[in-house]
Amino acid sequence: MKILPTAPQGLQGTLQVPGDKSISHRALMIGSISEGETQIENFLTGEDCLSTLQAFRDLGVQIELTGTQVTIHGVGLTGLKAANHPLDMGNSGTTTRLMMGLLAGQPFESHLTGDDSLQKRPMKRVAEPLSQFGGRIDLSRAGTLPATVIGQPLHATNYQLKVASAQVKSALILAALQADGPSTIKELLPTRDHTEIMLRQFGAEVETAADGLTITVQPQPKLRGQSVVVPSDISSAAFFLVAGAITPHSAIILTNVNLNPTRTGILQVLQKMQADLTITPKPSDGEPLGDLTIKTSDLAPIEIGAADIPAVIDELPLVALLAARAQGQSVIRGAEELRVKETDRIATVVSELRKLGVTVEELPDGMIIQGRPAWDIQDHQLDSYGDHRLGMMNAIAALTADEQLTLANEAAIRVSYPTFFADLDHLLGGQA
Ligand code: S3P
């Protein structure tokens, strides 16, 4: 149980949040299947990325981790070896789904398992499209982990995705690299394209058509090890952007944040809500990045729908929190994917906001939130329910409370942001 700090004097200062989770996973995976050495700087040492790192060690790849610096001795696309025990995916949906795509084309069998939350998450969304490539993945009867991936020669396929999911798309791209001809994967809506960008950097031919939705993958590339500098994670920076916007007397600068347009939905949300946000792009030859400055301001309500969701998918708990402090009614719709995240994030966000006295109506695909100028605390014990992003959302909400709140299951935060409370303390100027 953690006693959560409040911030009567606001938050001030400059912070570089840790490396991006999605990009750290991909750097490990693509570095492992490349030839030669890959160096990763500013790697995220959250538990999810450590699950990926351990899985590749178990598959015979030599990987060194020192601080946030990783060296991978890549084995090439055909050099992985069967693990002699089940691969533990921990809490990580990204590890699980992307690994399924990669392992589907390997000449051995792999067993995948994970924690209680991960064992509830849907995996048919990956197994079914992979079967179109000739892949064989046996799931539990509920369509979940544990899974057995029975590696097979894969066939080139044209596939239309049925969910807007970068994890499913990336799994299919990693499978297509091992197929017997060029494959085409078509998305429903544009989702994060870190896999495509990084594969190109490592020498693969992965093309995205002008529609931004159709990806063509040429098979059997020779991938060459690279140096990757991971930009800071906008999904982690987002907690402090929202903290700065809603906590009186705040002014925060967040540096070197990844500004890939498939990820910046939270910036558009803040702008539409009239937050005092300044975006300063910086030159970069890979993923776009920049500095973000946020100051406290009054907030207008917002309405967002299905087309807006992919670029803000992991930040929706924070959008709900912003809405809870805006002047008026906000609506989030088209976000049914939230129900299959680390927790059912519609149910858990509604539960936590109600503890703060917020009037919120739960919808099958979102919520309607009545903003209020201050909390009216109904229950002092907030809970992460084992979901890292819920834990951090609660900690940000507590900054503006005038009573002491606690957080149960705070350890979940280590999944994506092990230094979260230290970084918060830095912005509090050691007031906590
Ligand atoms: C991720 C994709 C998203 C996101 C997750 C990370 C990725 O999941 O929510 O945190 O790294 O590809 P979905 O693909 O399920 O939308």
Q: Which domains does the chain have, with CATH numbers?
A: 2-19+232-427 (3.65.10.10), 21-143+157-217 (3.65.10.10)
State the average pLDDT over residues 131-156. Answer: 98
Closest ligand 1 atom to Cα of 98: 12
Q: How confident is residue 432, by pLDDT bands cut at 50, 70 and 90?
A: low
Quick: pLDDT tens for 300-337: 999 999 999 999 999 999 999 999 999 999 999 999 99
**Residue 163 predicted with pLDDT over 70:** yes
Nearest CA to ligand 1 atom 11: 22
Q: What is the mean pLDDT of residues 165-176?
A: 98
The yes-or-no verdict on residue 431 having pLDDT over 90 is: no
Q: Can you give the pLDDT at residue 160?
A: 98
Report yes or no on whether pTM surpasses 0.85.
yes
Average pLDDT over residues 127-139: 98
> To test the ligand 1 pocket, which listed residue (98, 165, 337) has its Cβ within 8 A of the most ligand atoms?
165
Q: What is the pLDDT of residues 42-52, one digit of tens each?
A: 999 999 999 99
Expressed in angstroms and rounded, the spacing between residue 303 Cα and the centre of ligand 1 is 22
Q: Residue 325: what pLDDT?
A: 98
Annotated binding-site residues for phosphoenolpyruvate read 21, 93, 121, 167, 345, 389
The residue whose CB lies within 8 Å of the most ligand 1 atoms, and thus the one to mutate among 22, 98, 100, 167, is: 167
Render pLDDT for 187-223 as a digit per residue (tens, 0 to 9). Answer: 999 999 999 999 999 999 999 999 999 999 999 999 9
Q: Please identify which of the residues 58, 193, 291, 314 carries the catalytic annotation.
A: 314
Ligand 1 neighbour 96 (Cβ under 6 A): no
Whether residue 97 has its Cβ less than 6 Å from ligand 1:
no
Cα–chain center distance at 371: 27
Q: Calculate how far, in angstroms, residue 230's C-alpha sits from the geometric centre of ligand 1.
A: 17
Average pLDDT over residues 10-14: 98
pLDDT of residue 285: 85
For residue 36, what pLDDT is reported?
Answer: 98
**What is the per-residue pLDDT across 56-103, written as a single tens digit (0 to 9) for each?**
999 999 999 999 999 999 999 999 999 999 999 999 999 999 999 999
